[in-house]
Amino acid sequence: MATEHTVHQAQPAAAYDATAKQKAQAKTSRIPIKVVAAPAHEQLKKPDWIRVRAGSPSTRFYEIKSILREHQLHTVCEEASCPNIGECFGMGTATFMIMGDKCTRRCPFCDVGHGRPDPLDINEPA
């Protein structure tokens, strides 16, 4: 079941909507430890050995994406903005989420949106 709206900006406690998908600043603003990005001129360059494989037609990447869209499934890979998605999907692997696209946890290191889960979808594949 798709979430009606996603919140990206921090909200006052009175305006917090637990049923909305919380992403970005809206997600991290409720954590007692603040996450602050370093200025661009202070960020270190990644080592040359780090390479991310993009999805390619010669792999199963697009086949897996098509299957997921056809069955309206959400994956941790996509929701978490995983940089290794091309490698995993390319080999035919996906970690999908049950009960929608929201996680009930609020891990500060993870990009998966959090919030109160949507009602169960009777059409979700078993």
pLDDT at 7 (0 to 100): 65
Q: Is the pTM of this model over 0.85?
A: no
What is the domain partition of the chain in residue ranges?
Answer: 6-97
Specify the 3-state DSSP secondary structure of 1.
coil
Give, in order, the Cα–Cα distances in Å from 61 to each of 10, 26, 65: 34, 31, 6
More confident residue, 21 or 35: 21
The rounded distance, in Å, linking the Cα atoms of 19 and 38 is 31
Q: What is the pLDDT of residue 42?
A: 82
Quote the pLDDT of residue 3: 45
What does the pLDDT read at residue 14? 60
- Average pLDDT of the chain? 79
- 52-90 confidence digits (pLDDT tens): 667 677 788 889 989 999 988 889 888 888 888 888 888
Angle at 113 between CA 60 and CA 116, to 5 degrees: 125
Rounded Cα distance, 5 and 59, in Å: 33
